[in-house]
Amino acid sequence: MAHPSQLGFQDAASPVMEELLHFHDHALMIVFMISTLVLYIIIAMVTTDLTNKYILDSQEIEVIWTVLPGLILILIALPSLRILYLMDEINDPHLTIKAMGHQWYWSYEYTDYEELGFDSYMIPTQDLSPGQFRLLETDHRMVVPSESPVRVLVSAEDVLHSWAVPALGVKMDAVPGRLNQTAFVASRSGVYYGQCSEICGANHSFMPIVVEAVPLEHFENWSSLMLEDA
């Protein structure tokens, strides 16, 4: 989850997010280097008493500052496109879950075998137990088996919402009447938090998402329990 005064991304919990994180490091490093160079040049220009009145042109530097940025762009584009196509790979999910956005909660449906459906409301601040996270916890979590490809079909029952879990590198708009597909693999067991990412009314900030990745047998136990309770 996010922590106070955080600067970077949350730790990646899926292979795609890991790739995105490393790509961001790469692109940001290039950006820092260019910015440092520009800042240096600005300061150098501003803090000199010397004036040059006689340079009109220079073929060499023109070539350099055309080719080098071109190369840098290619250096950014290649990993970027690699990840883009990686995210677009055909995956073979083990499980399909539907995430339906409502005003103002999410509901999850697991209907591959039985018809399991439940709502997921935010726990109000006054009802939190010590150690729980304000505005992030929900009464029911979306439990998934770890290390299994999961397909999530996102839609909405009323207005636009968006289902996002940063640690998994997932964000997908929830559009009424449309079924948007996304997929992820939770690399490790854990609890991953997200928040609704499309303005949807008064309680838009109070309909979080919690994904709990557990080993497969625990997932099977959980789904049996949930079916009994339903």
Partner 1 sequence: MAEEIETKLKNYRTAPFDARFPNQNQTRNCWSNYLDYHRCQKALEEKGVDTAPCDWYKRVYKSICPMSWVQKWDDQRDEGIFPGKI
List the one residue out of 158, 29, 155 whose CA is nearest residue 96: 155
The nearest distance, CB 102 to partner 1, in angstroms, is: 10
Q: Least distance to partner 1 from the beta carbon of 56, Å?
A: 54
Angle at 190 between CA 185 and CA 196, to 5 degrees: 75
Question: How many chain residues bind partner 1 (CB under 8 A)?
Answer: 25
Site for partner 1 in 34-93 (CB under 8 A): 90-93
Q: Which stretch binds partner 1 (CB under 8 A): 22-30, 53-61, 121-129, 148-156?
A: 148-156
Among 27, 95, 191, 216, binds partner 1 (CB under 8 A): 95
Among 15, 19, 27, 117, binds partner 1 (CB under 8 A): 117
Q: Does 217 bind partner 1 (CB under 8 A)?
A: no
Report the distance separating Cα 90 and Cα 85, nearest Å: 10
Residues 6+ apart with CB under 8 A from 207: 101, 104, 105, 106, 121, 122, 161, 195, 196, 200
Among 11, 19, 112, 158, binds partner 1 (CB under 8 A): 112
Residue 201 Cβ vs partner 1, minimum distance, rounded to whole Å? 19
Listed residue (86, 196, 211) closest to 141, CA to CA: 211
For partner 1, which stretch binds (CB under 8 A), given 38-46, 65-73, 78-86, 151-159? 151-159
Structure tokens at 2: 């996010």
Cα separation, 153 vs 103, whole angstroms: 18
Do 221 and 196 contact (CB within 8 A), yes or no?
no
Binding site for partner 1 (CB under 8 A): 90-96, 98, 100, 109, 111-112, 115, 117, 151, 153, 155, 157, 172, 177-182
